[in-house]
Amino acid sequence: MTPEFTRAIQIARIREGTHRVVEATAIEREAVAARLSLAAVRQLCCTFDLHPAGAGAVLAIGKLRARVTQNCVVSLEPFETDIAENFQVRFVPAGTETDDFDLDADDEIPYQGAALDLGEAAVEQLALALEPFPRKPGAELPEAQEEAAGPFAALARLRGQ
């Protein structure tokens, strides 16, 4: 599968503190929206400060800025949300990822070849930053109605009682 938003940087060009800014075009944002089941992605920009970390690993300290249109799970109406996330990940050669489950450890992004894909890393961070059940500000769940229980409850509802 070809990523919707790709920005490669050659590992050999990364020096301590290499700074990169990646921003998605309108066509890329449309493809990312489809991938992430969003109504729209209005902005997707990410900055990366890259630091070689030995054995082919690269530490990336990043800032994600995005504006997305999501559908409210309560009202089903679209609404816009601004996302601003700081993150830290480690790019590691494929096959060298750690199996340790440590919530405090940096997330690892495996790579193959001689380049890192900063665009795909930005999309992955956006996916992690999205609210899984987005709710439009002010949207309220309808009040639940208590239903009578028992063998005659259905009959009572039919009679309008």
What 3-state class would DSSP assign to 108? strand
Q: Which of 19, 27, 35, 1 is nearest to 124 (CA)?
A: 35
Residue 92 banded pLDDT, cuts 50, 70, 90: very high
At residue 98, the pLDDT reads 83
Residue 64 near residue 122 (C-beta atoms within 8 A): yes
Round to whole Å and give the CA distance between 111 and 93.
Answer: 5
Strand partners, 6: none
Average pLDDT over residues 24-50: 97
DSSP assigned state of 13? G
Lowest mean pLDDT: which of 30-39, 76-85, 95-104, 107-116? 95-104
At residue 146, the pLDDT reads 58
Residue 70 CB partners (closer than 8 Å, separation 6+):
38, 39, 78, 79, 81, 130, 131, 134
Residue 70 near residue 81 (C-beta atoms within 8 A): yes
Angle at 36 between CA 42 and CA 32, to 5 degrees: 50
What 3-state class would DSSP assign to 143? coil
The model's pLDDT over 116-153, given as tens digits with 9 standing for 90+, comes to: 999 999 999 999 999 999 988 877 776 755 555 677 77
Residue 83 CB partners (closer than 8 Å, separation 6+):
64, 65, 66, 67, 68, 126, 129, 130
Residue 36 banded pLDDT, cuts 50, 70, 90: very high
Tokens of 119: 């665009």
pTM (2 decimals)? 0.82
More confident residue, 148 or 36: 36
DSSP assigned state of 132? S
At residue 140, the pLDDT reads 78
